Structure 1
Amino acid sequence: MAALTVAVTSDKTARVSGSGNEDIELSAADEKALFRAIEDFAKTEATETGESVEVSVSGFGATKQLTVTPDGYVAVAGPPTGPIAPVAVPAPARPVQEPVSVRAAEFAPPSAPLRIQAQERQSVLVAPVTVPGAEEPARMGIRGRLNAVLNLRLAPKPESAEVRQRAAAAKIAGHIPGFSIVTVANPKGGVGKTPLSIALNETIAKHRGAGSSVCVDFAEVGGTLPGRVSIPPREGQDVDALVAADAAAQGNLSPVALSRHLARQPGGDDIVAGSSGAGGVGFSYHDAEAIGRIMSAHREILIADTPGNATLSGGWQWATANAHALIVPVPMRHDTAEPGHKMLTDLAATYGPEILARTIVVITDGPGDDPKVETSAVDAFDKLHVHKVARMPYEPKFASGGRIAGSQLLPATTTALSVLAAMVVDLIAQPTH
């Protein structure tokens, strides 16, 4: 049986201990409403836990014992039958120092490596906890329900998912200096590049507004992107048709004409399918450059979903050479960590170590993964001096091979995606050095 201790501190306020890791303050208009608030809080706790709750209410020199059952029945009781749960004091959050970031040069071909000033990087395996607007009342979890039912103004817990989402949302919606390219790459196939590209695209559009972000399949011949999005692209909504339409418009494609070649998703994000490879011609460096030019006139962010085993293709080379942010998904397996590490080593050798300053490595969970790989993988990427190393929890929708809708993802995944999108926007928002 759960137990709560309530200390009435005035005729309008009370402090509740024994629920979660910290005390909760209740307030009401008068003494009668305060005791109703205490009873309602206990009823909610009993409903949430599925067991009766013993409540000890003390104040004004008297103590009252109540028992509240999961069905909402309240009865006067004797002394509590078990010890009151101790209140754990959370350790103070360790401050996270934000690194100085850089922005890549626009559309530099592989023959002209990007040369920008190197920066100090940071390895992070946790979400940020400093939140603008954290003092706003909670809208999620038990605190959000109490605020709604009892008209309270309980703030969310500092380490809660709601706090992290608020911090991330503020960054995602912030200013960026024009058009940016976010490339998701790992030469190993099956590491989750396409699901991550789709989900990141939707997350950015959710906070920056419909039509702000577009995800394009950069496979030499069409990849899996159309089969994973909520609304699959129709005929003509692919890179071949888009490049042809732009050429017919002499490089001056109108927004209306562009929209015909985009598959708008429920979250306001857009999708463009890959090349069909008709006539034996696939997606080339020139085509990728054309896509970048088209989107730079109509969108804020282009997310390039690159294929595996295609590092020599023109589209892959353009996307990695011109990435303002390079996202490298790495499941906890040696066969995926090593190719990702080698890819970054090769890119740094080709374009200079500055490309690592724009790289975010995302360690992901999945079936068959070996947690012991994580430590060695993080150490290896850290020694490369990548911008950040982040963490993505296991998401069944990603692993299923089916279509991905943001509304169907686990709450932990939604929070992690918001944090990742905030990292990306924070990175590309920095001025060029």
Structure 2
Amino acid sequence: MEPQHQPAIEATVHNSGRADLTIEGATSALQADSVQEARSQILDRVAAYAREVDHAVDAVMRDPEGVWPLRISPDGTVSEGVRPLRAVPAPPAEPVSSTSAELAPLPAPPPLPAPLAEPGRRHAAERRRSFLTDQRAEDPAARGLRGALNRAGLRTQPSAAERAEREDVQAVSQHWPGPRTVAIVNGKGGAGKTPVTVLLSAVFARYGGAGVLAWDNNQTRGTLGWRTEQGPHSGTLLELLPQVDRLLGASAQSADLAHYVHHQTRDRYDVLRSKPMVLAEEQRVEPADVDAIHAVASKYYRLIFIDSGNDESDPMWLRMIDHADQLVVATTTRDDHAEAGALLLEALADRNEQGAQLASRAVAIVSQADPKASKADVARVTSGYRDIARDAIAIPFDPAIVDGHLHYGALREFTQRALLAACAAVAKGFASTTGDNVD
């Protein structure tokens, strides 16, 4: 028995993940954590109905990306369905939240007339059009219903949201000439510096490949090593310091560093630990030591993310700032964390010209560490930092960030997407730096 051309199944998916599904006049409400999960639930229910009636059924799905006529088989196969006979209004366009979505450029002004050339000769300013053109073909959609249609054999273009995600991936996948050093800062403890250091390192290493180091530059019980994997040794920066001259020598090899850094097998970056079990007075690191460690790090790594301590007057902290190409202010929605980070930027702006440049180019990452924090709380802190920094990105609450070893793959999908946007914002600042702030 063939299905009717007038679809008796309609579904509407909202941005919040709430959905309404109508089958033969009976409407049921669904609630999911995301639009993608809501789509999946709808397709599962419609496939179950198709098995019940023992034939493929036509449906119309409205979601933030558009209106989709679908045909769902009893085995769950999705293909393009019959267009509905009656008009179905399109949903409002989905807003693009990624910071990588840029405004369309203004049209170029008309070219100035070329100066007259001598007869029989071509003027030097004239250029022929190259036979080589930039013909980058766009990959078809891989996510959502568009991706499902592509897997069913129908070629569909990616949505605006998927294009924005691809732009963010491209931004963090770049390799820049010369090493780049990013200091993660906030003078208040518990503001999320260590988780932000871990996750920035993970995202840049996953998408851009090897050559990423997370360095615990902390005099007082730095905990970066507690949140990351330990290698087959217990080496720290205290063991690395006596070997600096050898590691900077011509005969040194990158594999020699494996004695002192801890490779993260899932997220593909390395960690240089401090020794939190030892009193600060027993592991005092001087500014010259920071110079030495940074010299080794910048020889072997292209990206260096430094997890800093809380004492902004510590010479070790100040020397880190001298080496930084960019700052990331880590904060939560707590007022004291947000205010401490803002005061730090203001103090750096008054310190010297380099501090002012670092403050103006800084990126704030606002973590919703408290699951009870409201959207208004997150928006208030994020918008406040956009007034004093180059950009600010909010990271939603995620249980995987709270405690224990932190792995990018354990995070929820929407948390990963927010972190990718944050890393793309950081990557934009690399183009304006040279990677050689200190000789």
User: What is the TM-score when the length of structure 2 is the normalising length?
Assistant: 0.69
Aligned to 1:257: 256
Displacement of 1:55 in angstroms is 2.6
- Structure 1 CA distance, aligned partners of 2:269 and 2:314? 26
Displacement of 1:139 in angstroms is 2.3
Deviates more, 1:311-320 or 1:197-206: 311-320
Residues 1:183 and 2:183 are matched in the alignment: yes
After TM superposition, list the pairs within 5 Å mapping 1:21-420 onto structure 2.
46-47=43-44, 52=49, 55=58, 86-90=89-93, 126-129=98-101, 135-148=138-151, 150-160=152-162, 163-210=163-210, 212-229=211-228, 231-247=229-245, 253-266=252-265, 267-275=267-275, 277=278, 280-307=282-309, 309-352=310-353, 353-367=356-370, 368-369=372-373, 371-384=375-388, 386-399=389-402, 401-420=403-422
Q: Which segments of 5 or more consecutive residues in structure 2 lack a partner in the other structure?
A: 15-38, 51-56, 61-69, 79-83, 105-134
Contact 2:10–2:59 (8 Å) recurs in 1: no
Alpha-carbon spacing, 1:133–1:370, altered in 2? closer, same or farther (3 Å): farther
SS of the residue aligned with 2:271?
strand
Alpha-carbon spacing, 1:301–1:390, altered in 2? closer, same or farther (3 Å): same
Report which structure shows greater RCO (CA 8 Å, sep ≥6): 1
Give the letter for the 1:398 counterpart. I
- Structure 1 CA distance, aligned partners of 2:234 and 2:249? 18
Contact 1:4–1:56 (8 Å) recurs in 2: no
- Structure 2 CA distance, aligned partners of 1:88 and 1:431? 43
Displacement of 1:222 in angstroms is 3.8
Contact 1:181–1:304 (8 Å) recurs in 2: yes
Contact 2:213–2:305 (8 Å) recurs in 1: yes
- Structure 1 CA distance, aligned partners of 2:6 and 2:346? 59
**How many pairs does the alignment contain?**
350
Contact 1:217–1:273 (8 Å) recurs in 2: yes
CA offset digits 1:363-391 (Å, max 9, x no partner): 2212243544445534543443x211222
Displacement of 1:128 in angstroms is 2.2
Displacement of 1:342 in angstroms is 0.9
Contact 1:201–1:269 (8 Å) recurs in 2: yes
User: What is the TM-score when the length of structure 1 is the normalising length?
Assistant: 0.70
SS of the residue aligned with 2:196?
helix
RMSD: 3.9
Alpha-carbon spacing, 1:67–1:220, altered in 2? closer, same or farther (3 Å): closer
- Structure 2 CA distance, aligned partners of 1:350 and 1:69? 67
SS of the residue aligned with 1:389?
strand
- Structure 2 CA distance, aligned partners of 1:127 and 1:4? 44
Deviates more, 1:269-278 or 1:335-344: 269-278
Displacement of 1:344 in angstroms is 1.0
Displacement of 1:194 in angstroms is 0.8
- Structure 2 CA distance, aligned partners of 1:373 and 1:46? 35
Deviates more, 1:372-381 or 1:251-260: 372-381
Contact 2:215–2:304 (8 Å) recurs in 1: yes
- Structure 1 CA distance, aligned partners of 2:207 and 2:11? 36
CA offset digits 1:126-176 (Å, max 9, x no partner): 43236997931222334323322x22222232124xx33311111112241
Displacement of 1:321 in angstroms is 3.0
CA offset digits 1:302-339 (Å, max 9, x no partner): 000112x3222233222223221101122111111111
- Structure 2 CA distance, aligned partners of 1:158 and 1:270? 34
Give the letter for the 1:129 counterpart. A
After TM superposition, list the pairs within 5 Å mapping 1:413-432 onto structure 2.
413-431=415-433
Sequence identity of aligned pairs in percent?
A: 22
CA offset digits 1:171-203 (Å, max 9, x no partner): 112241201101111111112111111111011
Alpha-carbon spacing, 1:402–1:84, altered in 2? closer, same or farther (3 Å): farther
